[in-house]
Amino acid sequence: MTSQIEHACEALAERSHPLAVALNAINFKPYIRQRSGGYEGIFRIIIEQQVSVPSAQAILTRCNARIPDISALTVSEMSEENLRACGLSGPKVKYVQAAATAVLNGSLQLDSLAELNDEAAVRALCSVKGIGPWTAAIYLLFCEMRFDIWPRNDVALLAAYAAATGFSSKPAQKDFDELAEAEWAPWRGVAAHILWTYYAKLRGRKPI
């Protein structure tokens, strides 16, 4: 995988000046997030929806302390009160329980996603309430190590790109996502990892 990432970085640096700026800043060593999949992987990504990294980490710490086994069965049997005590909002309680139900009844077969192409895998994930395109993309990037998935509407990616361009103002999110999807294939996911690593550097923290 290392040689594959190196090749992708070289290709992207040649294709995009902002990505070259970001890569030079991180010494051409993007942090590639690799996580366990299954229900626990989906649970974590739902927690991370629309919150800052520190906030997500704080909630996950509480979840790990209160839920020894983060599994579809365990979460399906927990009350809303107990899940909210872990720091989950009302909507996120519904989302993690909907995902648990889908896994248990077989309508979402996470172990079989690897057999599907990217588009079909996204559709399968998005069939569950609370799993939208961003969550599906993050799961496929982090848990299945697919390297040509782009997570639309990710504000950290937009901020990193704007910083790399030196723009005084950010481009529109829609315009940025369209540029990434049109110009960075077949390494759109690697481009995302590059920009996340660069964003962490800009914020003075290690990527996680």
pLDDT in tens, 36-49: 999 999 999 999 99
Instruction: Give pTM, 2 decimals.
Output: 0.94
Largest CA distance in the chain: 52
Percent residues over pLDDT 70 in the chain: 100
Average pLDDT over residues 156-160: 96
Looking at residue 141, what is its pLDDT?
Answer: 97
130 vs 168, residue with greater confidence:
130
Indicate the pLDDT class of residue 1, thresholds 50, 70 and 90: confident
DSSP 59-104: HHHHHHHH-SS--HHHHHTS-HHHHHHTT--HHHHHHHHHHHHHHH
Chain segment 65-86, per-residue pLDDT in tens:
999 899 999 999 999 999 999 9
Regarding the domain with residue range 38-142, which homologous superfamily does it belong to in the CATH classification?
Hypothetical protein; domain 2 (1.10.340.30)
Q: Which two tokens stand for residue 16?
A: 């995009």
Write out pLDDT tens, residues 91-119. Answer: 999 999 999 999 999 999 999 999 999 99
Which fold, 2-33+150-202? Endonuclease Iii, domain 2 (1.10.1670)
Per-domain boundaries in the chain: 2-33+150-202, 38-142
Omega cis (within 30) before 186: yes
Asked if 198 contacts 22 with a C-beta cutoff of 8 angstroms, the reply is yes
| Percentage, residues of the chain above pLDDT 90 | 91
